[in-house]
Amino acid sequence: MKRIWEEDSDQDLLSRPLRSLGLSLETPFIADGVRQLYFELHKKNLVFRPHFWISEEWFCPDGIPGIAVPFYLLHPRLLNFEKKFIGYAEGEQFPDLLKLLRHETGHAVDNAYGLRKNALRLEIFGSSEKPYPRSYLPQAHSRRFVRHLRDFYSQSHPDEDFAETFAVWLTPNFEWRKKSYGRSIRKKLEAIDHIMSSLQGRSPLNQFRGTYEPLHRSRLTLRQYLYKKRRRLGVAPPSDMDAKLMAVFRNKLTYSPKGQGQKAGEFFKIHRNYLRDKISLGLGEPKYRIDHVIRRMSQRADELGLQIGHNLKLGPLLDIVTAQSLDDLLRNRHHIIL
């Protein structure tokens, strides 16, 4: 069913209240993800199935064995706004969607069975009572935490460590026992395996089907949501990065019909290692931080349809990635905001 706002101009759509969008989770993309998640839970002999609702972000609230799904995944225009204003959209690609579903299910199963009081969980992962930090600076080479979601999310809090480890454990065909994990990670995966084995065939203790901050109760317009999120994450206006990119690359519309230009995003990927190593050494910053900048700039260049000019040298590209890296440092963007 076509929605009335699908014919709106961008400015009119930005002015629309989120609660008026009339979105549904019954889209093939989300439905396929939920179906796959339920299949994975079935294969592990877990009875629990989280419920879902639409909100502004991905999250699983304390006490509710369900998962909020961000509205922008439910329509291409909303997805494009998210990427334009924020720089990326969590869960846009199907493999990333599944990773997020597994992670949030880790929180949901925690709520469903009251696992925060489980003695083994407390011993291995720590207490949920520990306050969440407003931000954290990840240790890229730590061997004490699994790597599932980007940004080393498992390092931020014991609850996130639990959810991330659960997500790795749930992933199909991932034979974690054969991996060369360190002692700490192996103990965590063994703890998850032991706890989940004890829950096989058992109905959840908490079967509450409520929601928290559903989209239909939001008081924000699309524009207000985007600007609020951008401020919270410390994201520079898109025009800042766009200006850097446009100074080096050319828009595909300026090319002759022969279309000889290589996509800027491909150029970034080809020279990624050189850029990362050179800038990391020059700024004294970890390589993973520079990787994050290159990934964002590459994605934005493709969204703008940028191509390289003839005989483009690496010097100008090195300059703009360095400038963007410095901008990120000044904005404290490498401290991951929760």
* pLDDT digit string, tens, across residues 20-57: 999 999 999 999 999 999 999 999 999 999 999 999 99
Tell me which of 216, 246, 277 is where a domain ends: 216
Residues 246, 187, single domain; the answer is no
**Domain ranges, residue 293:** 236-337
Tell me which of 184, 216, 248 is where a domain ends: 216
Beta bridge partners of 68: 53, 59
Would you state the pLDDT for residue 247?
A: 84
Residue 325 lies in a domain: yes
Residues 241, 111, single domain; the answer is no
Would you state the pLDDT for residue 304?
A: 83
Residue 221 lies in a domain: no
If one counts every other C-beta atom within 10 angstroms of the C-beta of residue 83, the result is 17
Judge contact between 85 and 154, C-beta under 8 A.
no
Q: What percent of the chain has pLDDT over 90?
A: 60
Judge contact between 293 and 325, C-beta under 8 A.
yes
Range with the poorest average pLDDT among 207-211, 282-286, 313-317: 282-286
Rounded to whole angstroms, how far apart are CA atoms 176 and 290?
29
Residues 136, 190, single domain; the answer is yes
Would you state the pLDDT for residue 109?
A: 99
The total number of structural domains in the chain stands at 2
Please give the span between the terminal C-alpha atoms of the chain, in angstroms, as a whole number: 36
Residues 253, 204, single domain; the answer is no
Tell me which of 185, 216, 247 is where a domain ends: 216
Structure tokens at 96: 């990333």
pLDDT digits (tens, 9 = 90+) for 241-271: 888 888 888 765 444 333 456 888 888 989 9
State the pTM of this model: 0.79
CA within 13 Å, CB half, 107: 21
Residue 287 lies in a domain: yes
User: Cα 335 from chain centroid?
Assistant: 15
Residue 227 lies in a domain: no
pLDDT digits (tens, 9 = 90+) for 111-135: 999 999 999 999 999 999 999 887 7
Residue 230 lies in a domain: no
